[in-house]
Homo-oligomer: A and B are copies of this chain.
Amino acid sequence: MDQLQDLLAQLRHFVAERDWQQFHDPKNLAMLLASEAGELLAEYRWVRNDAADTLSREPEARQRIADEIGDVGIALMLLCDRTGIDLQTAMRDKLAKNRRRYPVEHSKGRASRPIA
């Protein structure tokens, strides 16, 4: 079993042991994901852009950031598991769309809006 599959099995066990499937419909999991993304955001809200890499390497901040990244990743895996949406396929499909929405000649060096 590969590592992600093993982690998913552990997550399912964690949820089942606590009888939490009842709370984990896709709506609630989308809320979990967004609230965890908000906590990650909070770690960076006062740092300047040019100090954000440095902050990410300071041990205490790095641990908090890794914890929040872990929470976001867990919420995302739970949502994918519940909906049956394959995360890697979703990312590949969206990347293909983004290649079309942000053509290189239109977007190079500019944080541009999509062309459509």
Given A35-B45, A65-B85, A74-B91, also A111-B50 (CB < 8 A):
no
Supply 4 further A-B pairs (C-beta < 8 A) apart from A18-B102, A69-B76.
A4-B88, A22-B109, A38-B41, A49-B49
The answer, among B17, B39, B95, for a CB contact under 8 Å with A11, is: B95
State the copy count for this chain: 4
Given known pairs A26-B53, A28-B49, the reply for A33 and B72 (CB within 8 Å) is yes
Number of interface residues of A (CB under 8 A): 77
A89 to B18, CA, bound (A): 23
Can you list 20 residue pairs at the A/B interface with Cβ under 8 Å? A3-B88, A4-B88, A18-B108, A19-B109, A26-B55, A27-B44, A27-B47, A27-B52, A28-B52, A30-B43, A35-B39, A48-B50, A66-B93, A67-B93, A71-B94, A73-B87, A73-B91, A74-B94, A76-B76, A77-B91
The 8 closest A-B pairs by CB, nearest first: A38-B38, A70-B94, A46-B111, A70-B90, A27-B52, A37-B37, A31-B45, A35-B42
